Structure 1
Amino acid sequence: MSTADQLLEEMYTWIEQREQCARKLKTLAQELESLREKCNASECIGTTTAVVGTAFLIGAGVTTLLTGGAAAPLLGIAGGVCSGVGVGISVITKITEHLLSSDTMKDAQRIERKGNEVSENIQKLFQRLKKETQRASSSSDPNDLDQEIMNEILKAMARRSGLQHHFILHMLGKRQHHFGAGLGGPMFNQSTLMITLGSILSFFTLKASGDIFKLMFVKGGQQLAKEVSKVGLKTALKGGAMAVGGVIGLAFELPEAIDQWKELVSNNHVTEASQSLRDTAEDLQKITKTLREQLDKIKEILKDLEKLKSYIENSDRSHSQKQDFINIVKRYCDNKDVLAWLSETYDTDIFFKLVDIFYFLKQELDKKKKKTDREEIDIIFVAHGSIEDPLIMANSLLPLSTIEDVYLYSPWNCAIDAYAAYGIATGLIEPKHRIFGCIRANGCRIPDNGHYPANLPYYWNSMKNTGVGLIPNILVSPLKDPEDDAWNGFVFLQNTHGEPRKNRVVIPFIVPRLFSNFVTIPLYVVTLALSLVLFIFPFKATFHLAACLSRDSDTTLNGFDAYLNGQYSCTIDHSMMSSSMRLYHANPGLYNALRAVFDH
């Protein structure tokens, strides 16, 4: 059993110990009440006394959660002020003796000692895991070390759940892929896993080394504190008293609690003592239940990811499997546009066809390159395109951090020709190569320079940089099967064009004949399908769109020209962007295929 497996096992043991302790405290409360009733029947002296309020510590928690393990404050139990029935001295003696020496109390004390041993072992195992990871790591960056430690614990959780831990580790990849475009974006990203795991580790006062994961532990602690606050603890400490040095988040100090209960009984407050025992037990159960729910949340995420992997690999999906796939995606998606499409579209076959296209791409890449933890590729998606209202957030096109950026090349309301598309596909086009004219061959009364947009930026339109800014909704539709056979497979432009060591892949949007050529979908559906495949089979891609961005009618986005010019640039109607660069002889097959798409 690895150190990470042992660490996880001890965490579950600690939770079980506290659950056992809670059951013993409830039993002890019942025993005290029963003994009091029996004694009252024969020896009770009915005097009424005032009840003195009390409080005792039950462990470190809230501040630990809010500071990512920087301190270990203790929660407390406040005794209420109420009236009770006094009992005789001999009765008090009997009840006190039972409280201190009953088998139930001895069991609770034994469980407490065992829990403290487990607490100490958790700390030792975490330090051992740190040292082992540091020795095996090739990086001295503390954030990389934290990432590898978290990965080891997640692997242990996957093993404990019977999942493919090698797939989980491969999918998680390197640290930087947890903090990309998907962070704070419209879809689940790996940070969700890390923050939830951080909440559990911070509960056990385990500390991160690097700044990135220290922040994650704080966020996780805040998340857990919020969940704990929902259960309505009866024993929250009044006045912010703290005790530093408690081993683990909610390891209550039984000896101190026993002293308080003994004092209550000695002062004729047996009812209050038994109620305090019950309240303590119930709060321990609520908190351990919250911890289990956080652990279960991680397991469910890992199970969902394994399901997605299985569904992506199997193109022969049943209707129920397709629906389960969509439901999993919806669980982790909070972008209203993507959610609306997933919820309102009854025929998702085109979405799954895109999944199949991108999974086929992954298989082709596996054949062509040596496998690494993560491959970086440039994907050029060739399709018919147009724009429509309403405006959507640009980060809708970046559902996961596996897509580094989405680049648009033409201004808004502008078509492109084969020369421009070829430059986009090969990565050779630069802003200085752009030329503009009218898309209509004859009859245009506006000279070509009249189609040149004002204030055209000297860079491409980056959706990552636009972020939550608004853009038109981009629609794409499949290409018709061209006579040229260049579209029979993907066009790989490795080490021929573009940046050194960059792998460029041209993907034509072609669907089987059973689909209508008139099917039109939002571009964010395409990037969603791509990002899911990249996420499960860890690649990282930059997405380049080779498509026209013209509006279909004069009324589309009417009145938005000024805004679109501010977002990037916008041309007058019937404008087309071309390229002054004419290097299509390097790959005539690709150029001819693009001509069939754009020059018709």
Structure 2
Amino acid sequence: MEAAKLLCDSLFRWLENREECAGELSKLTQELENVPQGSNIFQAFRAVLSRSAASASVSPTPTATEAGVSSSAFNKASELIKEDEKVGTSIQKLLRDLKVRCGEDLKVRCGEAPLGAHADELDCEVTSQLMWALARRSKTPVPLDFLRGFNRATFFRHMTPGGLAPAEASDFICKALGLDRSPEITSSLKVSAKEMVKNIELIGIKAEAGSKALGATGLGISLYDLIGECEKMVKGNRVTEASKFLQDSSRQILEGQQKLKEQLDAMHEIIQKLVQMKNLIQNLGGYSLSMNEDEQRIMAYIMGTCTDNTVVSWLQELTHQNEFVNLLRFFRENLGRIFLDLTNPSGDDIDIVFVAHGRIVDLFMPAGGLVPTPNIRDTVIYSPWNCAIDSNTAFGIAQGFIRVTNREFYNNMVGNIAQFEPNPLPDHWNSMRGSLHNIPGILLSPVTQEERAWDFFHQFWTNRGMEIEDRVIIPYVVPQDEVNAFREIPLYMFIFVTSCILSIHDRTATVHLAACLGRGGSPARPEEWRTQYAYTSDGTVMTVNMDDRDMDTELFRALRSLFGGR
């Protein structure tokens, strides 16, 4: 975002200028302290004030020169004061512009009612944009969405309560990023990002000289007002007090400058650590049934930053952590390389279609759990609960042309359609973002080498035919000879892993599921199923009318071998 870049550049200009200002004020104070007794000290200070407000081309007044205040001291102080006022005003305008832009982007990404309190969401986005500008300034390749995820899980964790306790989460994050451990991550980083933004807000704000509210930080001190305050003191014959005030103000200015510099340095340190973590994920080695040190660091980062209780609970088991890392490898290999071939290289929403064996279980969870992060726009389920799909339906989902008006149901065990077709039958697909009810747990199983479908999908994948414009098909197919590394996994973990991969590529996605959702041996829950969407009786299959549509025979053959048909 250009507004963040301009603000970042102005902050560094301000830092340099304030450091010089502090030095020049100290020099000027020393010169004024050395004014010979009997000189008109009040006139000398008035000369400082008038000289500071005037053009740099005007020479200091004779009174000041006669008093022993050098022309170079006046000129330098004047130039720096004028520059300080100019940059401070610019920073305030740029910060306002950045907040407006971030607010507009939040409405686009999160809707009119963003997650969490709007003010906190805005602060989080402003902080993330500033960190991204810092990263680009230092030519550090870190994705913006990766920064957003980190900030939401640390400095703004209160917006999305969940996951581990804050102290435990901080410990995991510090371990993962190689930071000094502490009960709170903000302590190990010396200062929080939120405080950094608050300090930036003080720059350029007019305040009375000597104001404790702003003067304590040295960020809001107006140099014009500072010299004016000195003038009042000298006029009242409090020359020693004026000199001390000027020296103290110089020190406070330097302290304020140093504090903001340390905050920016701390943010840069975080950025460097996050780049290292991103590289660890992108450079995962081969599939394994155990984790090495780098993979343990990845898991520590995931555990520390995840605020989804369901995901964190699932990851508590070591075997599940191994499965997660292998799933991360699977998606990194099969999704990461596809981003390079998509029609729109960055910034736009893509559609990801999961193809797998599926079933539902009697473990309910909020539908919103399948839309866990802002980079998952929605998750769409097509069949009613306790319903299988055939190859026509799977093909329609994969290609993106399926329509509610084209769906049909059949059941080879029940002859009367009234006994198995949902009633009522919704006139829309089952959107998880739009649902306020709980859904049954969805488990996905991989296609293994023993199945005929494996050869079709493996060949199709080898030919890189799994992306159609901006629609990506991800079949849950076990990599060759890696059957022990992949098991039945909840859909919410598939989506969470997808979110992780999307974040390091700065992409967003809508997830679509092409899988059968029969209950198997799980207890029937018709009331809950109907409340959330709809359901069918055992053995029912949903199909769609293909309308003589041109079909990709290779993809359809692969889906036919997995789902069958009439």
Whether the TM-score (by the shorter chain) exceeds 0.5 is yes
CA distance, structure 1, for counterparts of residue 311 and residue 251 of structure 2: 42
Mark the CA change 1:382 to 1:567 in structure 2 (over 3 Å): closer, same or farther.
same
1:313 aligns with 2:270: no
Amino acid paired to 1:326: M
CA distance, structure 2, for counterparts of residue 371 and residue 426 of structure 1: 18
- 1:486 aligned to 443, 448, 456, which one? 456
Compute the displacement of 1:319 (Å): 2.0
- 1:562 aligned to 524, 527, 542, which one? 527
Compute the displacement of 1:311 (Å): 2.1
Aligned with 1:329: secondary structure?
helix
- 1:9 aligned to 9, 12, 17, which one? 12
Aligned to 1:406: 379
What is the root-mean-square deviation in Å for CA atoms of aligned residues? 5.6
CA distance, structure 1, for counterparts of residue 387 and residue 397 of structure 2: 15
Mark the CA change 1:532 to 1:518 in structure 2 (over 3 Å): closer, same or farther.
closer
CA distance, structure 1, for counterparts of residue 301 and residue 379 of structure 2: 24
Compute the displacement of 1:597 (Å): 2.2
Amino acid paired to 2:561: A
Give the alignment of 1:22-41 within 5 angstroms: none
Mark the CA change 1:426 to 1:155 in structure 2 (over 3 Å): closer, same or farther.
closer
Q: Identify the structure with the greater strand proportion.
A: 1
1:550 aligns with 2:518: yes
- 1:521 aligned to 489, 492, 509, which one? 489
Mark the CA change 1:425 to 1:187 in structure 2 (over 3 Å): closer, same or farther.
farther
CA distance, structure 2, for counterparts of residue 329 and residue 261 of structure 1: 59
1:121 aligns with 2:87: yes
CA distance, structure 2, for counterparts of residue 391 and residue 287 of structure 1: 53
Compute the displacement of 1:236 (Å): 5.6
CA distance, structure 1, for counterparts of residue 385 and residue 545 of structure 2: 20
CA contact (8 A) 1:492 1:504 kept: no
CA distance, structure 2, for counterparts of residue 112 and residue 470 of structure 1: 67
Aligned to 2:472: 505
CA distance, structure 1, for counterparts of residue 21 and residue 254 of structure 2: 8
Aligned to 2:365: 392
Give the alignment of 1:52-131 within 5 angstroms: 117-118=83-84, 120-124=86-90
1:596 aligns with 2:561: yes
Mark the CA change 1:390 to 1:281 in structure 2 (over 3 Å): closer, same or farther.
farther
Aligned to 1:431: 404
Mark the CA change 1:128 to 1:584 in structure 2 (over 3 Å): closer, same or farther.
closer
CA distance, structure 1, for counterparts of residue 397 and residue 544 of structure 2: 10
CA contact (8 A) 2:362 2:522 kept: no
Mark the CA change 1:3 to 1:450 in structure 2 (over 3 Å): closer, same or farther.
closer
Compute the displacement of 1:305 (Å): 4.0
CA distance, structure 2, for counterparts of residue 388 and residue 290 of structure 1: 54
Compute the displacement of 1:249 (Å): 4.1
CA distance, structure 2, for counterparts of residue 379 and residue 577 of structure 1: 21
Compute the displacement of 1:314 (Å): 0.9
Aligned to 1:60: none
Mark the CA change 1:17 to 1:507 in structure 2 (over 3 Å): closer, same or farther.
same
- Deviations for 1:142-198, whole angstroms, at most 9, x for unmatched residues? x99x9x99999545512566623xx5479899xxxxxxxxx977899xxxx998886
CA contact (8 A) 2:408 2:543 kept: yes
1:157 aligns with 2:130: no
CA distance, structure 2, for counterparts of residue 577 and residue 436 of structure 1: 5
CA contact (8 A) 2:408 2:544 kept: yes
Give the alignment of 1:174-253 within 5 angstroms: 199=198, 201-204=200-203, 249=220
Mark the CA change 1:288 to 1:527 in structure 2 (over 3 Å): closer, same or farther.
farther
- Using the aligned pairs only, state the percent identity: 28
Mark the CA change 1:309 to 1:255 in structure 2 (over 3 Å): closer, same or farther.
same
Compute the displacement of 1:549 (Å): 2.2
CA distance, structure 2, for counterparts of residue 410 and residue 5 of structure 1: 50
TM-score scaled by length of structure 1: 0.57
Aligned with 1:464: secondary structure?
coil
Amino acid paired to 2:452: E
- 2:424 aligned to 430, 451, 455, which one? 455
Aligned with 1:315: secondary structure?
coil
Compute the displacement of 1:465 (Å): 1.9
CA contact (8 A) 1:354 1:530 kept: no
Aligned with 2:387: secondary structure?
strand
Mark the CA change 1:116 to 1:585 in structure 2 (over 3 Å): closer, same or farther.
closer
Mark the CA change 1:550 to 1:204 in structure 2 (over 3 Å): closer, same or farther.
farther
- Deviations for 1:439-460, whole angstroms, at most 9, x for unmatched residues? xx55x5x733311112221111
Aligned with 1:541: secondary structure?
strand
Aligned to 1:332: 305
CA distance, structure 2, for counterparts of residue 170 and residue 204 of structure 1: 28
CA contact (8 A) 1:475 1:520 kept: yes
Compute the displacement of 1:419 (Å): 2.3
Compute the displacement of 1:350 (Å): 3.0
CA contact (8 A) 2:15 2:257 kept: no
Mark the CA change 1:396 to 1:152 in structure 2 (over 3 Å): closer, same or farther.
closer
Compute the displacement of 1:478 (Å): 1.1
CA distance, structure 2, for counterparts of residue 331 and residue 262 of structure 1: 58
CA contact (8 A) 2:478 2:486 kept: no
1:416 aligns with 2:419: no
Number of aligned residues:
441
Say which is worse superposed, 110-119 or 382-391, in terms of deviation: 110-119
